[in-house]
Amino acid sequence: MQLFVVGGAVRDRLLGQPVHDRDWVAVGATPEQLLALGYRPVGKDFPVFLHPDTGEEVALARTERKSGRGYHGFTFHASPEVTLEQDLARRDLTINAMAEAADGTLIDPHGGAADLRAGVLRHVSPAFAEDPVRLLRLARFAARWPHFTVAPPTQALLEQLVAMGEVDALVPERVWQELSRGLMAKRPSRMFEVLRACGALARLLPEPMLDALALARVDRAADADSSLPVRFALLGWPDLGAVETACARLRAPADVREVAALFVRESGPLAALQVVASAPHDGAGAAMPTHAAQLLSLFERSDALRRPERFEALLQATDLALDPPPQHRISPRLRLWLETARSLDTAPVARAAAQAGARGPQVGEAVREARLAALREALRAPIPASNA
């Protein structure tokens, strides 16, 4: 039995990037041999084991062939006779089809190291077009390394994959997994550009969105190291219906769906407040002519009093959507005013209202009036220089 480090660990080391996880291939081994050595089986579709000491994944060398539609439509063959070169030949891109022996020797039968140096994403074999996940992975890699280009023959295979309808067989969970990872990469716009160029974007995200402005916003969010919900919200959704339809189709997580919907609903009112914030004011940060009722209504619609972290994501998305950035942003003041409304001790207000005979909704209205009074006072106060 021989063990080789394969795939991403080899690629990232050659790129000079940190290697966090190593995957191994065992050549000349059987499942029984690995079990006897203390390896723990974890694979469902093919034999994969965890190393007894390091916990790293070790897969038996295997080959594969297409047996149906989609990325599940494959049969695998693993045996001691399968060579390392045969195992590497089934991989997607040349930069992922390299291995490293125990003595550090690089095994690179498909020119992956040269493609790394040239910055090229190139398929290993025509079998690339059999697995639609490979299209998504390539697009994600383009977002991770935006200076990489797609080799023309590989571009042709991407288009063939879409034309064959393989993209339509992707399950929502896998689409979301790859899209979300691409959104969190260095330059998310490259992922969408690659998907659009081969025709896959219209199949995966048919909503009218992702124009040049939206892509620029998402890239700004990446530069700001923003969260996934913020980046998703900036994709240029035309309306709430488009957000809900896309999130349902992709089975996006609740936090992603909620921030995107909130941004679509509230970006207009926040833009109106931004106009006020950008108006001339004195150096001491004079109070803005904003109505307390307008602010409290915004906080209530956004559920900001109970969920300030989601409101914070809304503010971040709003700031990133502003182009060019205004001299004075409204978001620091909104954070200040939200804290004013949230920090109000409402228990005495509720008790006093109840003692005065208020019941149910009347108590809630008394609390709301107390918050309005606190906001009116905050709006009259000078704005601290740090929030101006």
pTM of the model: 0.87
Task: For 136-152, give one letter per residue: b (16+ CB within 10 A) or e.
Answer: bbbbbbbbbbbebbbbe
Looking from the CA of 211 toward its CB, the CA atoms found within 13 Å total: 5
pLDDT at 271: 81
pLDDT at 387: 56
pLDDT at 63: 84
Domains and CATH numbers, the chain: 1-118 (3.30.460.10), 269-387 (no CATH)
Helix axes 188-197, 172-183, angle to 10 degrees: 130
pLDDT at 66: 55
pLDDT < 70 stretches in the chain: 45, 65-75, 275-290, 383-388
Looking from the CA of 117 toward its CB, the CA atoms found within 13 Å total: 3
Please give the distance of CA 270 from its chain centroid, rounded to a whole number. Answer: 24
- Helix, strand, coil abundance in the chain, percent, nearest 5: 55, 10, 35
Closest-CA residue to 316 (of 297, 298, 329, 300) = 329
pLDDT at 256: 98
331 and 318 Cβ atoms separated by less than 8 Å: yes
